[in-house]
Amino acid sequence: MSAGDAAGAVAGTLLEIDRMRVQIPVRGRLRTVIHDATLDIAPGEAVGLVGESGSGKSMTARTIMRLLPPRSVTSGSIRFAGQSVLDMGRGALRNLRANQIGMIYQDPRAHINPVRSNGDFLLEAMLAQGVKAAAARQRAIDLLAQVGIADGGRRLRQYPHQLSGGLLQRIMIAAALATSPRLLLADEPTTALDVTTQSEVMAILAELRAGRGLAMLFITHDLDLAAAVTDRMAVMYAGMIVEIGTSATVHETALHPYTVGLLRSRPAVGTRSRIQVIPGRPVSAFEAGPGCVFAARCPYATDLCRAERPELRPVDQQLAACHRAEELKGRVSFAAETVAHD
């Protein structure tokens, strides 16, 4: 069984990330934010990227779009539809960002210009493509209808402050789809929304993706949400992907101690028991030692774990980056200590 089969990857890939390593300048010095990430997305597939703050999940999306700060250093390779993203010139890059990949951010209010109308925002990409104003407007109204906004004409004349967060997020989704991209990068698109609105936005995304065969990289801190809406998921910690597999497999039989700990950290509705917690706090990639990035918080860490960084390798149905994955299978548990220092 090859690594690709084990991770449940579909034949033919749209996005291929291979040993991607990213360093960004912080006060004049390069700081590692992603250690070594390998991830594929097939056409039409939904892949979840799950992690806490500092895990590098948003940086992964920014690297794919080449939206990193100046003087950042990226190594490894990123290929979109066979083309190397890291080698793209300005024209190809503009085409990639404008027409091939759509992006949705967590906070629509921070990413939509507040002094321009919703129509200006929504039509901009289409007008830049050379679509006539009237046709672009009609297409925008159609798109708004598809994301559940019936009175599109009025909404286009309004400004962002006149819309609720849920409505504004749908405007952002419509804008991301305006140029018919093949991949959607959704960075915590529902985190700022109420649960019922989240459910609605996810339903809209599912419908739109099914109709267009649109692939999605879904970035979230919510393992349960990722398990519900994606085909496969990758769990990131401190700039490393520590586990990948089909979403159901990772959710039901997580192998990496971090994934297990993350699942146990969330109280489940319907049962009240003391929460098992991972001691300490999530660290960033540059804070991790030479060994396993999770070693400092892992109750099962050995000298080997602290000294040598484990590779992502096939274990059972998924890929896991843990030296002790086989022997710990089904046995990982965390203490429910009173006071955990972080």
Partner 1 sequence: MTSQLDGEALAAGAAREPVLVVRELRKVFKVKAEGSRQTEDFVAVDDVSFELPASGSLGIVGESGSGKTTVARIIAGLERPTGGTVVIAGASLQTRRLRGEDRRARGRRVQMVFQDPYSSLDPRQPVGACLDEVLRFHTTAGKAGRRERALELLHQVGLDERNENLRPRSLSGGQRQRVAIARALACDPEVLILDEAVSALDVSVQGQVLNLLADLRAQLRVAYLFVSHDLAVVQQVTDDTIVMHRGRIVESGATDTILREPADDYTRQLLAAIPRPGWKATRRTTHP
Task: Catalog residues that contact partner 1 under the rule CB under 8 A.
Answer: 52-53, 148, 162, 165, 194-204, 206, 221-225, 227-229, 247-248, 251-252, 261-262, 264-278, 281-282, 336-342
Smallest distance, partner 1 to C-beta of residue 202, A = 4
CB of 64 or CB of 173, closer to partner 1: 173
CB of 74 or CB of 265, closer to partner 1: 265
What residues form DSSP beta bridges with 314? 319
d(CA 331, CA 327): 8
How many other CB atoms are there within 10 angstroms of residue 69's CB atom? 9
CB of 13 or CB of 118, closer to partner 1: 118
Contact 175, 163 (CB under 8 A): no
d(CA 25, CA 19): 20
CB of 17 or CB of 216, closer to partner 1: 216
Query: Token pair of 41, please?
Result: 């997305």
CB of 125 or CB of 223, closer to partner 1: 223
CB of 16 or CB of 200, closer to partner 1: 200
Smallest distance, partner 1 to C-beta of residue 148, A = 7
Contact 55, 259 (CB under 8 A): no
| Inter-CA distances, 180 with 6, 37, 129, 175, Å | 31, 27, 12, 10
Look at residue 138 and give its three-state secondary structure: helix
Smallest distance, partner 1 to C-beta of residue 193, A = 9
Smallest distance, partner 1 to C-beta of residue 77, A = 31
Smallest distance, partner 1 to C-beta of residue 125, A = 26
DSSP annotation of 331 reads T
Contact 212, 44 (CB under 8 A): no
Nearest Cα to Cα of residue 101 among 61, 132, 68: 61
Smallest distance, partner 1 to C-beta of residue 276, A = 7
CB of 257 or CB of 314, closer to partner 1: 257
Smallest distance, partner 1 to C-beta of residue 32, A = 19
Look at residue 19 and give its three-state secondary structure: strand
